[in-house]
Structure 1
Amino acid sequence: MNFTADVYISLKKGVVDPEGEATKKALNLLGFRNVKSVSSVKVFRIELEAKSREDAEKMIEEMCEKLLANPVIQDYSIRWVD
């Protein structure tokens, strides 16, 4: 069976996000003074074959732990695409 998931990688709370801060500053300078924070998030869309959704989820979690996310400073979440 084929499965598709979006994997969202974001910085953990308390980790400095220079890209988000620079974007917030630029938006404020452009007159968008109501913007209070900006966070950068990376998304990977992964399509894979697996026997079950549970197997697919295990594989994607392993991908995140081994390559896609740095567990020291990043969190990840998986959202299935129908």
Structure 2
Amino acid sequence: MIKEFGVTNLEVTKEDISKNPNNPILRMYDDEELIGTFSILSGEVVENLDLADYDIRFAQKQIELNRDNYLETWKDYVGLLHA
């Protein structure tokens, strides 16, 4: 039996890219509620709205594993917005 316990998403947004293209950040949502933002470059918490310690560890691990992909996506969107 599989039971779903919340859904956590990490997201790069066009809004953040257009607001500050030189500061790549990643938003973390839990059940569609924004709970924090992280620097993609350092993995550090930029804004803590309702992050638990395990949320921070999870996001930092994902950023560490996928940093190149997040930065590539960020740069692609910056290029599209300024084309």
Q: Same fold (TM over 0.5)?
A: no
Considering fraction of residues, name the structure with more strand: 1
TM-score (normalised: structure 2): 0.29
Max Rg structure = 1
Question: Normalization by structure 1: what TM-score?
Answer: 0.29
Higher RCO (Cα < 8 Å, 6 or more apart): 1
